[in-house]
């Protein structure tokens, strides 16, 4: 059984064990005032309940009574509180599975979050084990092939499955939003993306995800994980019961 098949099987059986995560940050290039980009928002959705929890610059700044024009000057305080709240949530959920989109290294990933927390004076971040991290992009490539969507894949997949969300921001647009102090706009983009990932996972589990992939293998995957598979299974069960009754009747002599 391949990785995506194992994921589908587990997620169908125990959806309460899966969380979907995404975050936004300052520029990923060398145009930041620091050596690593600041974290501006994190959003998490629970697969079983579809409930979302988020940690954002604008909400933390309000809690700390920091006015909009002073946020950048006091961003260390804001970012530290944001990450403290995030790790407070994940601390007792490290044994769960965390579905993400290319959060795979120090540049952009769980290690980046941990690094920023340490830089700001945080200690003992409750690290989510590598084995519990599931890259949705890799799962889709495993299932449908690397050509399941054109580049950039996230936006292209959105276009294939209902269209790009109105709050979606590209990486470049997020950089401009940060410079303009549009933190709520950045947060809404993060929420839109994690909400879309939930839709992708749900569609993947039902065999209804629309992709650019072609071929008999993909068609069969969609066939046997959709409603058709359930119908075929039901018919097979009914036929099996009928055959069993017939054989029993022959055995006890009712049918000769």
**Within 10 Å of residue 107's Cβ, how many Cβ atoms?**
13
pLDDT tens digits for range 142-161 = 999 999 999 999 999 999 99
Polymer length in residues for the chain: 256
Peptide bond into 152 cis (omega under 30): yes
User: How is residue 246 written in tokens?
Assistant: 């017939």
pLDDT in tens, 207-230: 999 999 875 455 555 555 544 444
Mean pLDDT of 94-112: 96
Of 248 and 171, which is predicted with more confidence? 171
CA distances from 36 to 10, 32, 77, 103, 118 (A): 36, 7, 16, 15, 12
Q: What is the pLDDT of residues 175-211, one digit of tens each?
A: 899 989 999 999 999 999 999 999 999 999 999 999 9
Predicted confidence (pLDDT) per residue in 21-53, tens digit: 999 999 776 566 667 999 999 999 999 999 999
Long-range CB contacts (within 8 A, 24+) of 111-119: 112/25, 112/36, 112/37, 112/39, 113/23, 113/39, 113/42, 113/83, 113/86, 115/36, 116/36, 116/38, 116/39, 116/79, 116/83, 117/80, 117/83, 117/84, 117/87, 119/34, 119/36
Within a 10 A sphere around the Cβ of 150, how many other Cβ atoms? 12
Query: pTM for the whole thing?
Result: 0.84
Residue-level pLDDT at 254: 52
The pLDDT value given to residue 227: 47
pLDDT at position 77 over 60? yes
């Amino acid at each position: 059984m391949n990785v995506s098949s194992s994921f589908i099987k587990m997620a169908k059986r125990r959806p309460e064990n899966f969380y979907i995560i995404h975050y936004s940050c300052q520029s990923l290039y060398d145009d930041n005032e620091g050596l690593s980009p600041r974290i501006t928002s994190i959003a998490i959705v629970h697969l079983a309940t579809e409930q979302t929890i988020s940690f954002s610059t604008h909400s933390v700044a309000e809690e700390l009574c920091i006015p909009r024009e002073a946020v950048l000057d006091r961003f260390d305080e804001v970012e530290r509180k944001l990450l403290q709240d995030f790790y407070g949530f994940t601390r007792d959920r490290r044994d769960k599975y965390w579905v993400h989109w290319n959060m795979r290294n120090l540049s952009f990933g769980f290690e980046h979050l941990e690094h920023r927390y340490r830089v700001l004076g945080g200690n003992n971040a409750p690290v989510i084990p590598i084995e519990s991290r599931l890259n949705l992009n890799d799962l889709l490539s495993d299932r449908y092939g690397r050509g399941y969507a054109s580049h950039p894949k996230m936006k292209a997949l959105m276009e294939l499955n209902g269209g790009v969300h109105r709050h979606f921001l590209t990486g470049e647009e997020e950089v401009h939003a940060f410079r303009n102090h549009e933190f709520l706009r950045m947060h809404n983009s993060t929420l839109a993306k994690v909400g879309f990932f939930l839709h992708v996972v749900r569609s993947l589990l039902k065999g209804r995800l629309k992709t650019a992939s072609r071929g008999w293998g993909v068609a069969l995957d969609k066939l046997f994980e959709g409603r058709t598979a359930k119908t075929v299974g039901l018919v097979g069960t009914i036929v099996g019961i009928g055959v069993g009754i017939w054989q029993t009747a022959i055995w006890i002599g009712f049918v000769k």
